[in-house]
């Protein structure tokens, strides 16, 4: 609720009321301060304890005279003060808005139940034990530990006769999960905390356990989030599915997966409007020999991502140090992140990378600036935060949850485009303002679909479907608005153009061209400006966020954090991404990337390798230094693979 108690209420100490209806809440608190005699300009932490309690929990049965004033009227009322926390609770229970729920959930955290302490079962059930452990204690084990537990049970002959078939089912299922590289996950891990790649591999393990034959399996990038060490186990599993008499089709960019395939279909030659053609097909060898195939050129080594000629050293201004990190599986580690360089945080799946970088470092920095209500992971302290002006976490979350959100609006390119259309002579003649060309404002948009271009039809017992608006034909705007053109193109046609096409159209308008150029720089030239956010992949959403940050003017002291930015990227796109990251660092910024892609890892200035394993056997700093230094550490799995690629 109060991320920084050094701030006064006027300065925004109360995070939940900082943005929403700030004038209303300010007047509310002003009346409260007058009644209980405390100062809104005093740091929250220095207010009397009674005042802090009343602000957070309410005045109980004591009535307060409140006075509100807007532009035209003054309102007076007398009632008890509800309190910040009861206000949030009530709004959370009453609201029907998903956005409001998400906003309030940022101030909530899960706590273990005081009765069962997280076990979820009654004491009678927990008194039943096998080999000294009850069912809850068994589910707290990682999959690897559970394999060893059930594999070494000391049972009598009679007990074994009863349990043999049950044990076979348990060990088989645990074995399947282990074979797809998930032995670090605990059995009671909630599904909401799993990454997309982990969820996909769990479903894959389930299919192997079903022992079906004659099935067509389609997997979309199953190697996401997988360390090269575990990739072999995943490929063995896919080959096992094939050998059982099934067909396996995998959409993938991973070189090892492509080389292992029996047959490869290479699409291209480019992306978006430049794609959609069959470039090459056949065994991996045939793809490598094809001169038209960009994939083949990288697989054969005719094209390659070079090792940087030099490694940047930490700049004289210092570094960021997280000390005593113990969140999840981190083993009370102290980690130093050099500033002004490109750092890769590596390690096998589940080794603690996201816990260290996102949950601990980023959240601690964000909270120190009062920019986030998220509680950072357990740690003793952080040094060097003052050396960074801004810290930005560019993740895979969607850029919007409705078809109305799109790359043009998210990057801010649509605002100058609307301004440009309002300056067209025909617009000025008709008196059209920029709002006329917005699909969020009445006047210029199609009112039948309210500017969405589609209508949502609710299907009972089935997912909702979206159909093209029959009035505007999906063009979002009314006839009068579409009559305004720039270089023969109306506003709807602009939104249907790809970034590359739009960059050519607006090449003479610097403010628009700059924003579109940053999208091209991160390899997103093929997407449409008005493409609904709901159709973008996580990797595409992340790169659009990166382009928006690139279009801003940085101070040279910005920290950029990216979690697996190579998701969904071809070898050639990785080259473009590395060029963008390199440019950010050359301008004096700091880039920290969580990554498994060896091409990115070998291009880093500094590596922090966690492990040695995942889960409870991880959470230690195994190696740190340049890629060459990490490659010499025999205990590091990342180092072993780097040693081969750096030869």
pLDDT in tens, 462-487: 777 889 999 999 899 999 999 999 99
Query: Between the CA atoms of 172, 610, 254 and 541, what dihedral angle is there, to the nearest 10 degrees?
Result: 110
Q: How confident is the model at residue 590 (pLDDT cuts 50, 70, 90)?
A: very high
Q: Give backbone dihedrals phi and psi of 296, rounded to 5 degrees, phi first.
A: -60, -35
Question: What pLDDT, on the 0 to 100 scale, is given for residue 315?
Answer: 61
Query: If we measure between CA atoms, which residue out of 449, 396, 333, 416 comes closest to residue 562?
Result: 396
Separation of CA 468 from chain center: 30
Segment 308-320 shows an average pLDDT of: 79
Segment 16-41 shows an average pLDDT of: 84
Q: What is the pLDDT of residues 539-560, one digit of tens each?
A: 788 889 888 888 877 667 889 9
CATH class of segment(s) 15-105? mainly alpha
- Pair of tokens at residue 251: 């959409």
Please check whether the domain covering 319-398+539-645 is classified as CATH 3.30.9.90: no
**Among the residues of 459-611, which ranges form H helices?**
479-482, 491-496, 499-505, 510-521, 538-551, 571-586, 598-602
Segment 270-283 shows an average pLDDT of: 88
Strand 129-130 to 74-80 pairing:
unpaired
- Pair of tokens at residue 375: 């509680």
- pLDDT of 299 > 80? The answer is yes
- pLDDT of 274 > 60? The answer is yes
Q: What is the pLDDT of residues 562-571, one digit of tens each?
A: 998 888 888 9
Which letter does DSSP use for residue 402 in this model?
Answer: S
- Domain extents for the chain? 15-105, 319-398+539-645, 407-534
Instruction: Give dist(CA 586, CA 579) in Å, integer.
Output: 10
Do residues 124 and 116 lie in contact, with contact meaning Cβ atoms separated by under 8 Å? no
Strand 342-346 to 319-325 pairing:
unpaired
Instruction: Give dist(CA 50, CA 18) in Å, integer.
Output: 22
Q: What is the pLDDT of residues 329-340, one digit of tens each?
A: 899 999 999 999
- pLDDT of 398 > 90? The answer is no
Segment 201-209 shows an average pLDDT of: 82
Do residues 495 and 481 lie in contact, with contact meaning Cβ atoms separated by under 8 Å? no
Question: What pLDDT, on the 0 to 100 scale, is given for residue 601?
Answer: 96
Query: If we measure between CA atoms, which residue out of 564, 562, 612, 532 comes closest to residue 221?
Result: 564
Which letter does DSSP use for residue 498 in this model?
Answer: B
Indicate the range of 308-317, 386-395, 414-423, 441-450 predicted with least confidence.
308-317
- pLDDT of 372 > 70? The answer is no
Determine the length of the chain.
Answer: 647
How much is the mean pLDDT over the chain?
A: 88
- Look at residue 2 and give its three-state secondary structure: coil
- pLDDT of 284 > 90? The answer is yes
- pLDDT of 206 > 60? The answer is yes
CATH for 407-534 is 1.20.1580.10
Instruction: Give dist(CA 576, CA 219) in Å, integer.
Output: 26
For the full predicted model, state whether its pTM sits above 0.85.
no
Q: Give backbone dihedrals phi and psi of 392, rounded to 5 degrees, phi first.
A: -125, 125
Indicate the range of 136-145, 293-302, 362-371, 483-492 predicted with least confidence.
362-371
Question: What pLDDT, on the 0 to 100 scale, is given for residue 458?
Answer: 79
Residue in this structure with the two tokens 């996102």, named with its chain if needed: 358
Fold match, 15-105 / 407-534: no
Question: What pLDDT, on the 0 to 100 scale, is given for residue 441?
Answer: 85
Instruction: Give dist(CA 585, CA 607) in Å, integer.
Output: 15
Q: What is the pLDDT of residues 49-67, one digit of tens each?
A: 999 999 999 999 999 999 8
Q: How confident is the model at residue 391 (pLDDT cuts 50, 70, 90)?
A: confident
Question: What pLDDT, on the 0 to 100 scale, is given for residue 6?
Answer: 83
**Share of residues in the chain with pLDDT > 90 (%):** 52
Question: What pLDDT, on the 0 to 100 scale, is given for residue 21?
Answer: 56
Indicate the range of 242-246, 315-319, 434-438 predicted with least confidence.
315-319
- pLDDT of 373 > 60? The answer is no
């Amino acid at each position: 609720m109060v991320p920084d108690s050094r701030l006064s209420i006027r300065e925004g100490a109360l995070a939940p009321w900082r943005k929403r209806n700030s004038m209303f809440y300010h007047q509310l608190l002003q009346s409260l301060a007058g009644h209980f005699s405390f100062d809104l300009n005093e740091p929250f932490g220095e207010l009397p304890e009674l005042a802090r309690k009343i602000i957070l929990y309410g005045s109980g049965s004591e009535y307060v005279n409140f006075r509100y004033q807007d532009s035209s009227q003054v309102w007076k009322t007398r009632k008890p003060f509800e309190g910040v926390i009861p206000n949030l609770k009530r709004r959370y229970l009453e609201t029907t808005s998903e956005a409001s729920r998400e906003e309030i959930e940022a101030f909530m955290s899960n706590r273990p139940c005081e009765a069962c302490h997280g076990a979820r079962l009654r004491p009678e059930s927990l008194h039943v034990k096998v080999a000294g452990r009850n069912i809850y204690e068994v589910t707290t084990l990682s999959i690897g530990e559970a394999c060893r537990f059930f594999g070494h049970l000391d049972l009598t002959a009679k007990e074994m006769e009863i349990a043999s078939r049950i044990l076979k089912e348990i060990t088989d299922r645990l074995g399947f999960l282990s074979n797809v590289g998930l032995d670090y996950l605990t059995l009671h891990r909630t599904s909401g905390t799993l990454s997309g790649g982990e969820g996909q591999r769990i479903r894959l393990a389930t299919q192997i356990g079903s022992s079906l034959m004659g099935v067509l399996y389609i997997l979309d990038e199953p190697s996401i989030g997988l360390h090269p060490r575990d990739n072999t186990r995943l490929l063995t599993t896919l080959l096992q599915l094939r050998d059982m008499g099934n067909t396996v089709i995998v959409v993938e960019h991973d070189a090892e997966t492509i080389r292992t395939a029996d047959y490869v279909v290479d699409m291209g030659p480019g992306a978006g409007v430049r794609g959609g053609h069959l470039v090459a097909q056949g065994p991996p060898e045939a793809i490598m020999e094809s001169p038209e195939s960009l994939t083949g050129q990288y697989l054969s080594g005719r094209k390659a991502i070079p090792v940087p000629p030099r490694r940047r050293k930490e700049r004289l201004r210092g570094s960021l140090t997280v000390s005593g990190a113990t969140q999840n599986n981190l083993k009370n580690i102290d980690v130093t992140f050099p500033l002004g360089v490109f750092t890769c945080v590596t390690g096998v799946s589940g080794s603690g990378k996201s816990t260290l970088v996102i949950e601990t470092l980023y959240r601690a920095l964000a909270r120190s600036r009062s920019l986030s209500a998220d509680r950072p992971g357990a740690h003793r302290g952080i040094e060097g935060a003052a050396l960074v002006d801004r810290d930005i976490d560019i993740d895979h979350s969607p850029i919007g949850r409705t078809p109305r959100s799109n790359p043009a609006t998210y990057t801010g390119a649509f605002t100058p485009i609307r301004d440009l259309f309002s300056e067209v002579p025909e617009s000025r003649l008709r008196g059209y303002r920029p709002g006329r060309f917005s699909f969020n404002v009445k006047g210029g948009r199609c009112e039948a679909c309210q500017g969405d271009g589609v209508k949502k039809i609710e299907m009972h017992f089935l997912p909702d479907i979206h159909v093209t608006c029959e009035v505007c034909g999906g063009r979002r705007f009314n006839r009068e608005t579409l009559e305004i053109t720039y270089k023969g193109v109306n506003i709807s046609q602009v939104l249907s153009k790809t970034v590359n096409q739009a960059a050519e159209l607006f090449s003479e308008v610097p403010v628009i061209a700059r924003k579109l150029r940053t999208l091209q720089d991160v390899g997103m030239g093929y997407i449409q400006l008005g493409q609904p956010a709901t159709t973008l992949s996580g990797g595409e959403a992340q790169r659009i966020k990166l382009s928006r940050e690139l279009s801003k003017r940085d101070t040279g002291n910005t920290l950029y954090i990216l979690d697996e930015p190579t998701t969904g990227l071809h070898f050639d796109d990785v080259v473009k991404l590395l060029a963008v990251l390199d440019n950010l660092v050359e301008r004096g910024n700091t880039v920290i990337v969580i990554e498994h892609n060896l091409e990115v890892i070998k291009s880093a200035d500094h590596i922090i390798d966690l492990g040695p394993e995942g889960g409870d056997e991880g959470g230690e700093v195994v190696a740190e230094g340049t890629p060459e230094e990490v490659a010499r550490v025999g205990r590091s799995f990342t180092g072993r693979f780097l040693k081969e690629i750096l030869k």
